[in-house]
Structure 1
Amino acid sequence: MQKRWFIMESRRRGRHSNKRRMSKGKKIFIAVFTILLISAISTGAYAFYILSLMKHTNINKPTTDNGITNVPVEDAKKINKNITNYALFGLDRRGTEASRSDTIMVLSLDKENKKIKLTSLMRDMYVDIPGHNKNKLNAAYAFGGPGLAINTINNDFKLDIQYYATVDFKGLQMLINKLGGVDINVKQGEIQYLNSYLDELNKIDKSNVASHITKAGMQHLNGKQAVAYMRIRYYGRADYERTERQRTVLTQLFNKVKQAGPLKLPGIMTSILPYVETNLSSTNIMGLGASAIGYSSAIEQYRLPVDGTYTSPSIKGVGDVLQPDMNKNVDLLYKFIYGTDANVSK
């Protein structure tokens, strides 16, 4: 099986709008945290038990997990007292390999204007990683866990993140199964790639082996089959078509979640929260859930690097990367989150 690792990926990228590229992975987090926050409000005190199912971590001191030394998160001066930034990571664990942050986002909560903003950071951006050579952004999580990933984001993009949440993609499988699977129109050319990813997932998790897809057309996929479908990258328009597959699956999940009703939400949460890791306490999360009631339902979205502000070179030992103009991207990020240029913090 060909290894797909952060230093070996070499997919060509074209220019797509920020809004289009922003879609990758964001719905996973919106789905998970919509479920989490609604349930926190609707289940009252019982929510504290449900939230205890998450892995709560302390990233203020070095720890070792799965052979990786987790770097402590460094203190960062608050940029704006009314705006809090959180790091969101989607992990694609594969056997004993170090966990890659397949999806990286910054969630910004503006309590003064009651706005929620979500910025997607493309994982192939070529950035400075503290204590390491320059590499792809998603390498930081594998090198030093969420602490180093946060430090890298804060260092390169001049942010003040102190809190994070991570979702293992195994949790997405569980969510899909809990919601009864999804109906997908599988193309003939996608089948071999889907089954290849499925073999990999079955090898990692032998307790519930999913069967191969043998024909094209509309069919019902379980969680493992759907995640394998979402991972297809080497067919069609590479990563861009991959995001379309993700949107197809996740749109169905959203509709199913909305139809589930408050009585079923706690059961859904108990199935997925064991795959969520955070350094937020249950009390913090309950507070976020309560305050979110007054926020605008429209989530403002952004993506870095912005089109026209990066090149796509191939770096020896790393592969194809996105090399951003950091000054331009930091200024644009500040305008999106804070409504001002970044030079206020330089």
Structure 2
Amino acid sequence: MALTKKKRISLTVVLSIVVVILAIAVGGGIFALTLANKFDAYEKIDDPFPDEAGRPAKSDTGSQNILLLGSDTRGEIGDKELDNIKGDRSDSMMIVHIPGNREGIFVTSIMRDSWVPIPGRGSAKINAAMAYGGPKLAVQTVETLINARIDHVAVIDFDGFEGLTDALGGVTINNPIAFTATHGKQHFKQGEITLSGKDALSFVRERYSFKDGDYQRARNQQLYMKGVMNKLLSKDTLTNPGRVIESIDAISPFLKADSGMNAAYVAGLAPSLAGVRGEDVQFITAPTSGTGTSPDGQSIVRLDEVKMGQLATAFQTDKLADFFAANKK
């Protein structure tokens, strides 16, 4: 299946759908089988992981790390396979951590202009890893950054985003800053608002309206994702088979993931994650120390080396709950 004329998508919707399936798959029967078949319809990434030699070891606590990537294609991909894309940067990057004790889910956003070492390429913005070497190099770059293993990887385009939002009947958020989107001129008032699919795209993509640009965009993306989580994991959604299936139908054509991230994997996690709800999912942005200029004149985001070391240790020791509690703003 070729992916054509699609826009990049905020990636945590993948996890949202996975968790929905986890929460209801334990019920068994025809409905669970229908969900499994639909979920497994996504395209597979061929050879998405770096050579085993030199990779971090698997967690000894049973934790899982899922790397979510948005392909910055800005339009038509054509017949190129997503795992072979060259020249297309990942517009968003998140690490979803499922702890060994299954008490919550922790999502770490990495700002796309973060200046990091990219194996074999020297230092560059982290979103260049996808351009240089597809998902495989993106995985290797993130594993180098946090010194912890990535267990699964997914890439998504944005077209399914609009359909998912509308399938849920809109997503309600509490908007902290009133602004008018640069593209489309949609105005978003401060306070509680309900976003349709079209409005949601404008909301999560805007950066020019804010003094701190990408920083506020990252916060808005997380705010929206939290709204999606709350709606997907609400009683109204979980008890409505038609809405669940419609939501999966809306996103699965735009998802590509490693072959191991399948319905069997999801079903295996079900007993321990069935109780997860929106309030149990936490978001944070990888700590930064401000912006700067690279040696070749690019505008970049500098990561906070001390706190990034602490974050890496938290990933390695499966103690992200403690790091989030200490660094949540």
TM-score (norm 1): 0.68
Q: Which residue of 2 aligns with 1:229?
A: 203
User: 1:321: Cα distance to partner?
Assistant: 1.3
Unaligned runs of 5+ in 1: 1-24, 61-71, 197-212, 341-346
Aligned match of 1:54 in 42, 50, 53? 42
Partner residue in 2 for 1:154: 143
1:120-167 CA-partner distances (Å, limit 9, x unpaired): 222221111122232111111222221110001112321221421233
Whether the aligned pair in 1 keeps the contact of 2:64 and 2:150 (CA below 8 Å) is yes
CA apart distance, 1:113: 6.3
Number of equivalences: 285
Q: 1:85 to 1:31 in 2, by over 3 A?
A: closer
Corresponding residue number in structure 2 for 1:21:
none
Residues 1:73 and 2:58 are matched in the alignment: no
Map 1:1-346 → 2, pairs under 5 A: 28-42=13-27, 43-59=31-47, 72-75=49-52, 76-82=55-61, 83-96=63-76, 98-112=87-101, 114=103, 116-181=105-170, 190-191=180-181, 193-195=182-184, 222-237=196-211, 238-243=213-218, 245-246=220-221, 249-250=224-225, 252-257=227-232, 258=234, 259-260=236-237, 261-263=239-241, 264-279=243-258, 280-293=261-274, 298-305=280-287, 310-315=289-294, 317=296, 319-324=298-303, 326=305, 329-335=308-314, 338=317
- How far off is 1:328 after superposition? 5.0
Shift of 1:91: 3.5
Check 1:286–1:139 CA distance in 2 against 1; reply closer, same or farther (3 A cut): same
Structure number with greater Rg is: 1
Shift, 1:227, TM fit: 0.2
Q: Secondary structure at the match of 2:129?
A: helix
Question: Identity across aligned pairs (percent)?
Answer: 24
- Contact 1:86/1:107 (8 A) holds in 2: yes
- In 2 relative to 1, CA 275–35 (structure 1 residues): closer, same or farther, beyond 3 Å? farther
Matched residue type, 1:37: L
Cα 1:332–1:162 shift into 2, 3 Å: closer
Distance change >3 Å, CA 44–CA 33, structure 1 → 2: closer
Mapped to 1, the partners of 2:307 and 2:220 lie a distance apart of 31
Provide Cα deviations, 1:209-232, integer angstroms capped at 9, x if missing partner.
Answer: xxxx59989998642343023211
Q: Is the 8 A contact 1:312 1:321 kept in 2?
A: yes
Q: Residue 54 of structure 1: CA displacement?
A: 1.3
The residue aligned with 1:202 is none
For the structure 1 residues 285 and 178, does the alpha-carbon distance in structure 2 shift closer, same or farther, using more than 3 Å as the test?
Answer: same
Q: Which moved more, 1:268-277 or 1:172-181?
A: 172-181
Q: How well do the aligned residues superpose, as a CA RMSD in angstroms?
A: 3.6
Query: Residues 53 and 270 of structure 1 are in contact (CA less than 8 Å); yes or no, is this contact kept in structure 2?
Result: no
- Contact 1:194–1:229, Cα closer than 8 Å, also in 2: no
Paired with 2:100 and 2:266, the residues of 1 have a C-alpha distance of: 15
Letter in 1 for 2:65: N
Are the structure 2 counterparts of residues 241 and 108 from structure 1 closer, same or farther at C-alpha, using a change threshold of 3 Å? closer
Report the AA paired with residue 22 of structure 2. Answer: L
Once the two structures are TM-superposed, the CA of residue 170 in structure 1 deviates from its matched residue by: 1.9
For residues 78-106 of structure 1, the C-alpha deviation after alignment (integer angstroms, 9 at most, x for no partner) is: 25322332212234431247443222222
> Following TM superposition, by how much is the alpha carbon of 1:175 offset from its aligned partner in structure 2, in angstroms?
0.6
Contact 1:35/1:269 (CA < 8 Å) preserved in 2?
no
